[in-house]
Amino acid sequence: MTRPALLWFRNDLRLADNPALMAVADRPILPVFVLDDDAAGAWKHGGAQRWWLHHALASLGADLSRRGVDLHLAQGDAAIIIPALAAAVGAEDIHVAQRFEPWGRRQDEAIATALKSTGRRLVRHRGTLLHDPHALRTGQGKPYQVYTPFSRAIFAAGEPAPPMDAPARLHPVANPPAGATLDLLPKRDWAKDFPKHWQPGEAGAAKRLAAFGTRALAAYDGARNIPAIPGTSGLSPHLRFGEISPRQVWHAAREAGATGSHTFLKEVLWRDFAYHLLFNRPEMPEAPLAEKFAAFPWQPNPKYLAAWQRGMTGYPIVDAGMRQLWATGWMHNRVRMIVASLLVKHLLQPWQDGQDWFWDTLVDGDLASNSASWQWVAGCGADAAPYFRVFNPMLQGAKFDPEGTYVTRWVPELARLPKNLIHQPWEAPPGLVRDYPPPIIDHAFGRARALAAYAAIKGETA
């Protein structure tokens, strides 16, 4: 008789192209998801992620049921729950997708050790990234610190293996134990509009990929920077929860053969690069990778932070992005850079505060991508934007939202303004703008102050 196995779902909530699932598809299995907030600590799922996870698990559970098995849900210490479940169903091996978050790696090692003492084993599969972070090295045998040579190395390595189809039928273990109900949805339904924008789950990911398609990829090089149009794929939350694999995305883009495919795949590779950084620099979510920034003279100000969070900074492109984030759990990538620059440079707020707000409000909140991106904007990460590059929010708005379509969608207070004033409403005649604040800080003053702060840690005179 074939021995049963435990299939531990974590960041791979899909059936197609799931190496851990394929390794046990012909055996009796108990599929399991464990919500372990204590192990994750500060990096437990944020509020928007929890909304997504609730629906993603419901979708995964339904997909599994149609194939003959039920998803077992549990909450608590996975280091206790997983070995106990393995013993209860007689599973000698537990199959999982690899994790690269520092807390997840520590937990995996502890669980692997505990299982080994009972004659069981934890089998980890590559299913969340295109390349293992510990395997890719420069010609000098060191981790990559710069994105461009990293991406070139991956392109030069050849095409990833083609994705695998989902199994048509799965086999349950005998007498599976009863699971729990997870309490993931918000008590106050601030996420009520999320379903207008998202369909969590593997089917939603497939629809999103299909809708992106050849036509969108053909226009991607230019359209990806325009927040008023759907010029990006919208796949980031599906990739974050593993409802679609990077191999599926890669091969779909290759098969489309559109002019923007290469640019799009470079964006997909940024996610791999972020995990490469996190694996080799596990302090990245908490500490600057550039050591000189440990002495940066941040000026924490709760009023500044709150105005930024609410989308009330007086800079329209920034406020539109922050309100889009609150309403949809997502923000256009170009706008993410603009809002982050205002917070850490004009306002001198610690990048960790912005990172934490994104972690709680983004449905695609991903520890590696989130922390790498915030450090990039702040100028303190690997291959970061120069700190002296301070985005001008008026020019950025005029360049990427010239008609004001994006701004007026999310900041309706400005809808009466002519487009030449949309991005600088303080210049409008009295009466055209109501209930909208003046700029929280003067752009020129904020820029000069940021440059002076940077000069201070370099030991220079601004």
The one catalytic residue in 92, 190, 225, 270 is 270
The one catalytic residue in 225, 333, 392, 413 is 333
Measured in residues, the chain has a length of: 462
- The values of phi and psi at residue 6, to 5°, are -100, 130
Query: Does the annotation count 175 as an active-site position?
Result: no
* CA angle centred on 42, ends 41 and 46, rounded to 5°: 110
The one catalytic residue in 8, 198, 326, 374 is 374
Residues 320-347, buried b or exposed e (16+ Cβ, 10 A)?
bbbbbbbbbbbbbebbbbbbbbbbbbbb
Query: Does the annotation count 11 as an active-site position?
Result: no
Residues 7-27, buried b or exposed e (16+ Cβ, 10 A)?
bbbbbbbbbbbbbbbbebbeb
Query: Does the annotation count 52 as an active-site position?
Result: no
What distances in angstroms separate CA 348 from CA 80, 119, 207, 353, 384, one per listed residue? 43, 54, 41, 11, 17
The one catalytic residue in 267, 301, 392, 413 is 267
Query: Does the annotation count 333 as an active-site position?
Result: yes
Question: What are the helix (H) ranges across 117-260?
Answer: 147-156, 194-197, 202-218, 220-223, 236-240, 246-256
Query: Does the annotation count 267 as an active-site position?
Result: yes
What kind and span of H or E run contains 123? strand 121-125
Query: Does the annotation count 286 as an active-site position?
Result: no
Cα Rg of the chain (Å, integer):
23
* CA angle centred on 229, ends 224 and 234, rounded to 5°: 60
Quote the tokens at residue 31: 């599929």
The one catalytic residue in 190, 298, 392, 413 is 298
The one catalytic residue in 8, 351, 357, 410 is 351
Quote the tokens at residue 330: 């997502």
- The values of phi and psi at residue 257, to 5°, are 65, 20
Q: Are 26 and 68 contacting, i.e. CB atoms less than 8 angstroms apart?
A: no
Q: Catalytic positions, please?
A: 267, 270, 298, 333, 351, 374
